[in-house]
Structures are given as structure tokens and as C-alpha cells.
Chains A and B, each alone.
Chain A
Amino acid sequence: MELFFQQVFNGIMLGSTYALVALGLTLVLGILNVSNFAHGDLYMLAAYITFTLIVNYSIGFWPAVLVSMVTLAIVGVFIEKFVFRPLRDQSPINPFIAAVGLMLFLETFVIVVWGPRGQRIPNPYPGAVDLFGISTTQQRLIVVVAAVVLIGLLQLFIKRTTMGATIEATAQDREGAALVGINVNRVSSVTFAIAGALAAAAASLIAPIFMIAPGMGALPVMKAFAIIILGGVGSIPGAIAGAYVLGMVESLGGGYLSAAYKDVYAFGALVLVLAIRPTGLFGKEEH
């Protein structure tokens, strides 16, 4: 039973990072109709920026995370402006392919700057914590709490601010939003900035626990896409629920069945859901 709860907690931790990655991705997908495959490489880039700040410039963990988030927000704005904005009115596969190009570029860029070998960020909070009989580390606990805080802040931003309202309006109807005077270009920039910052937060928080490597973004982004499809495209609660479900499936499957195939469960779950409900768990019917 102890093992079970241990796995559940690991599932929650994994789910928290997936949620942060998937939220940014679902915002971009739902609002701009761009399936940004390079999102995983933004995640990876962020991990390396945090690594450099901590290891080479000996900046504290939290300031490093913050700088990384801001940097990635700026990178996101640039990407939107120079890669995805010119492709806005083309068929949806074209932005996807541009994203693949971006992915190839970013991955190689990181290899050029930091080398192909994996790196490790020293764990700022290695202390063990005993939580209702489950032993874990402080860092893992921080990941879970930080994810909840960030998700809450994002929800507040979207529901309570004017900027958030314009984002929602653009998601519902781009032309309608433009018609009532919303600057959709600015909404696009802000959305990409948020997505970049969330990816940076996820990567920076989890980097001290796992190794960082140039290929580390490929699987999380694919899982994030699986989560989005699971939860229903454009649905924020769907993405959050999907992320935790996936984290749990992976953790329990990896713990009880076989760790080598843990990546398969995620995509297997996706297949199962799609076979039953092609619009995802929380998705609206197509129109």
C-alpha cells in the first residue's frame, strides 16, 4: 500500500509538470490554432538557461527560474511574430511544419551552445520530507505546490483581467474579437509569452530532479499534445485534468507493469480515449 501511495504522489508530481507544459500548449492551440511542436524545445531551452544561471553565474534557484521564465516569454513573442504570424491564414499543417523547423533549429542550437551531453542542475532543496507516511524530497513537493500556484494565477489572469478576457474572446472568435476592437496581434504575442513562461517554469522546477539533455523536450511535448487531445482542445480544465490523469497512468503503469514502456501508456491511454470519444474527455463537438 505504501508503494501505491508513493506512486500516486509521483504521478501527481509528473502530472504537475505536464499540466504546466500542456497549459501553454493548449492556450496557443486553442487561441491561435497553431500546434506548436517546438514547445518542447522551449521547455528544453529554459532548462539550459536555468542551468547556466545557477551553475555558471551562481544565481539563486528562484531568481534563476524567474529570469528563465522572462527570457522564454520574450523568445515566445519573437517566435510568434516571425514564424507563426506570417502563416496565420494558411492550412493548419503549415504552422505545424514551421514548428518542426523551429524544433530542429532550437535542438541544434542548444547542442552547439551547451554540447550534446546531459547536464545536471544541483538540487537546491534535496532534503527528505515525510508526508503522511510517503517519503519524498522537498524539491518534488515544491514542483507540486508551484504548479498549483501557477495554474491558479493563470486562471485568475484569464478570468479576472481585461487582457485575459481579450484572450478568451479571441479564442472564441478571432474575427469577432478583431471587430470589437481587440488587437489580436497583441493577444497572440501575450499568449505565446505565457506559454513560453509556463514551459520555462515547468522545466526549471523539474530540472534539479532529472537530467537535462538536448532531446529532453520531445517526449513532454508529445505527451502534452496527448493530454490536450485527451482533455479536449482549448479546454483549460481539460488540460489540467488530462495532465494529472496521464501522470498517474504513467507512474502507476511504470511502477506496477514495466518501467521501460511507461511512455507507451500515455499514448495508449490517448488511443483508448480517442477510439471512444474523438473530441476528448471535455471537448466540445466539432462544428
Chain B
Amino acid sequence: MGIWGFVRSKWLYLLILVLALALPLAHPNRYWFQVVIISLVWSIATLSLNLILGYTGQPSLAHGAYFGVGAYAVGLLTLKLHMSFWLALPTAGVLAALVGLIIGVPSMRMRGHYFAIGTLCFGVIIYTIAGNWMELTGGFTGLLGIPNPNAIPIPGIGRISFANQINQYYLVLVLLLITLFVMHRIVYSLVGYGFMAIRNNEVLAAAVGINTFRNKLLSLTISNFIVGVAGGLYAVILGSISPSAAHFNITFYLLLYLLLGGVASLAGPILGAFALPLIMENLQFISEYRNLVFGPLLIIVIIYWPRGVMGGLVDLKQRVQNYYQFRKAGAARAVASAETDQAI
């Protein structure tokens, strides 16, 4: 497949990418730009939840707490230890992954919804600690005045400062693209197939020689590293965090984005993480009551459309293809039978 073939098969994604890169040219107003940037952060976090929940089938519901660990890590490292943001961000990921390992090993002993409930309980522990450990986390007031990412000096050009929204936008966008690339590599690799085998049938996966425990732990660690980074970005973009960054509501919102967008797809989480916050912002006048809409929406989607919007689109495409293939096959059969007739 040459470059042209690639463009032809992926034109929609390329178009979205070009539009995303060009967005700052449209001079969006500050408020909406901020909403878009935060949506990019949610996209990264939702993609990470998708790896462990969508592809590996493990409903890790401490994800909001890992997000909080990443946010607090960046906040504390840059504020209290004056560490460079560029060092603090990967450290946040590593810390979230470590916390995930500590929580993951005992919770991996549970399966299915017990795992979900167990991890949710762990999430509450982290939230409670974030709210009560006054000396470290500042209690329920949280951390204020988290500095912008340090400027990067580029020889010959000057310095790239991250004090403005446009550069922050590109920073998050680049990290989202990296996340997407990594996810793509994982999902279509042998490791990814191993994850999906565990999701589809854990006993069978173990029987064919997949070390299920190690694979689940690997998936969790990668997923947590990414969500930790997303949390770190969240902290630095907002400039302040409170324990609500580690609340289980974050987990629920990530779940909502993931399920409405389309679980176990790469585009679905991004679609969900973008569409819902934007809709929510548009519904500002009912902002307090939006869950009156989103709650039932979640129920309806899970009943009638369990694979979300992307799943629905894939089904539709499949049906259209089947229809055409059926017609083509019918035509071929007609030709074949005509030929047989001639042979006789």
C-alpha cells in the first residue's frame, strides 16, 4: 500500500488530525479552548481505561484514583520539590503505575464484578487519604498555584513557553497522539491479542499457555502509567487540584465516555471524551441536573447499544458490506449458472 492508498483508507482520520492541528488558527475563545484541552486530557484517560477494561476485560474502577495520584504527583513534585515538569510528568505515570501494582496484586485475585467492587473500594481509600493527609495534600483545599510546564529552550529559535493556551493545547494533543500510537501498537501486537484472549475467556486463555496474571498486571501497569500522565496534565492545565481529582466520580465519567463512545475501539474513547464534555458545556443551563439526562442515557445505551456509538457504526458498516457482498455473490452465481447452462 503506497502513501496514496494509506491516505485513501484513512482519509477521515487524517482530516480530523489536520483540523485538530489547525484548530488554534480559528482563534477559539478562551473558555471553549480550555474545554477542548481538558477533553483531550479526558481522551488520554479514557483510552487508558479502554486498555484494561475494553481490551483486557478487567473493570478497574480505581482509575479515577490513579488519575488523582498522577495529578497530585505532578502538583507536589513541581510545587514542593521544584522539579521540572518534564521530569515530574513521567514520574507521575510511574507513581500511578506503582500504586496500581500495590492495589492490583491483591485485587487480581478477584474476578468479574468482585474485581470491580474491590478496585472501587481501593479508589475510595486513595480519595480519603488525599482528603485527610493535610501535611502532604493540603486536605480538601487541595494544591493551588501549580506552575506551568517549564519552557523548552530551542537553540537558534528561542524558547517555547507553555504559559499560553495554544502551546498547552499542542502539548496535550501530541501526548494524545503518542498514547493513540502506543495503544495501536499494543492492540495489534501479540501482547494485545493475549489481553483480548483473557477478556474473551480467561480459563481458555490460561489453557493455551497465556500467563493470565502477568498479562493482566502488565495491562494494568501500562493503563495506569497513561492515566497517571493524564492526571498530571490535568493538574498542570488547571493549575490547582483538590481531592475531587481522585474521586470515584472521575471513574464514572471515564466509564461514561468509554461506553457511549464505544468500548474496545480506538476511536470510541476519544469520541466519547470529546462529545460528552462538549454537550455538557452546551447544557450549562441544566449543568447541575445533567445527570438526570446522562444517567438514563447510560442505561439506554448499555441495554440497546452495548458497544457504544463506534460499535453501532461498525455494525452498520458491516451490514452495508454484507448487503453488497450478497448482491455481488448473487450476481456471480447468476453468471456461473449461466455458464453451466452454456456448457450443457
What are 17 A-B interface contacts by the 8 Å CB criterion?
Answer: A83-B303, A86-B303, A93-B113, A100-B298, A101-B299, A105-B295, A105-B299, A107-B291, A108-B289, A108-B292, A111-B288, A218-B248, A219-B124, A226-B121, A260-B128, A266-B121, A271-B106
Give chain A interface residues in 229-282, CB to chain B under 8 Å: 229, 233, 260-261, 263-264, 266-268, 270-271, 274-275, 278
Q: Closest 4 CB pairs between A and B?
A: A105-B295, A101-B298, A104-B295, A278-B109
User: Number of residues in A with C-beta < 8 Å to the partner?
Assistant: 43
**What is the bound-complex CA distance between A124 and B299, given in angstroms?**
39
B191: chain A residues at CB < 8 Å are: none
Nearest-CB residue, chain A, relative to B110: A278
Name the residue of chain B whose CB is nearest to the CB of A34: B113
Q: Could you say which of B117, B252, B291 contacts A35, with CB atoms under 8 Å apart? A: B117
A100 touches B252 (CB 8 A): yes
Query: Which residues of chain B from 181 to 196 have a CB within 8 Å of any chain A CB?
Result: none
A92, CB-defined interface residue at 8 Å: yes
Q: Does B122 lie within 8 Å of A271, measured CB to CB?
A: yes
Chain B at the A interface: SS class? helix
CB pair B122 A264 closer than 8 Å: no
Q: Is the CB of A222 within 8 A of B121?
A: yes
A75 partner residues in chain B, CB cutoff 8 A: none
Q: Which residues of A contact B (CB under 8 A)?
A: 35, 83, 86-87, 90, 92-94, 96-98, 100-109, 111-112, 218-219, 222, 225-226, 229, 233, 260-261, 263-264, 266-268, 270-271, 274-275, 278, 286
Main secondary structure of the interface of A (DSSP, over half): helix
Q: B280-310: contact bitstring with A at CB < 8 Å (1 yes, 0 no)?
A: 0000000011111011111100110010000
Contact A97 B289 (CB under 8 A): no
How distant is B113 from chain A, measured CB to nearest CB, in Å? 4
| Cβ of B86 under 8 Å from chain A | no
Contact in complex: B259, A97 (CB < 8 Å): yes
B255 adjacent to A97 (CB under 8 Å): yes
Contacts of A267 in B (CB 8 A): 121-122, 124-125
Does B180 lie at the interface of the complex (its beta carbon under 8 Å from any beta carbon of A)? Answer: no
Q: Is the CB of A264 within 8 A of B109?
A: no
B294 adjacent to A233 (CB under 8 Å): no
A83 to chain B: closest residue by CB: B299
Known contacts A87-B302, A101-B302; is-contact A108 B295 (Cβ 8 Å)? yes
C-alpha spacing A104/B125, complex, angstroms: 21
Q: A109-B292, A274-B118, A286-B111 are in contact. Are A260 and B125 (CB under 8 A)?
A: no
Q: Are B255 and A104 in contact (CB under 8 A)?
A: no
- Which residues of B sit under 8 angstroms from A233, Cβ to Cβ? 114
Q: A263-B128, A268-B125, A274-B118 are in contact. Are A105 and B113 (CB under 8 A)?
A: no
What chain A residues lie within 8 Å of B110 (beta carbons)?
229, 274, 278
Among B118, B252, B290, point to the contact of A270 (Cβ < 8 A): B118
What residue in chain B is nearest A226 (Cβ atoms)?
Answer: B121
**Interface residue ranges of B132-169 to A (CB < 8 Å):** 132
CB contact under 8 A between A108 and B129, given known A100-B252, A226-B121, A270-B118: no
In the complex, how many angstroms separate the beta carbon of B282 from the nearest chain A beta carbon? Answer: 18
Are B132 and A101 neighbours in the complex by a CB distance under 8 Å?
A: no
Which chain A residue shows the least CB distance to B53? A93
Cα distance, A271 to B306, chains bound together (Å)? 31
> Which residue in B118, B132, B292 is a CB contact (below 8 Å) of A112?
B292
CB contact under 8 A between A94 and B306, given known A100-B252, A101-B297, A105-B295: yes
Q: Point out the residues of chain B lying under 8 angstroms from A268, CB to CB.
A: 125
Question: In the complex, are the beta carbons of B295 and A102 less than 8 A apart?
Answer: yes
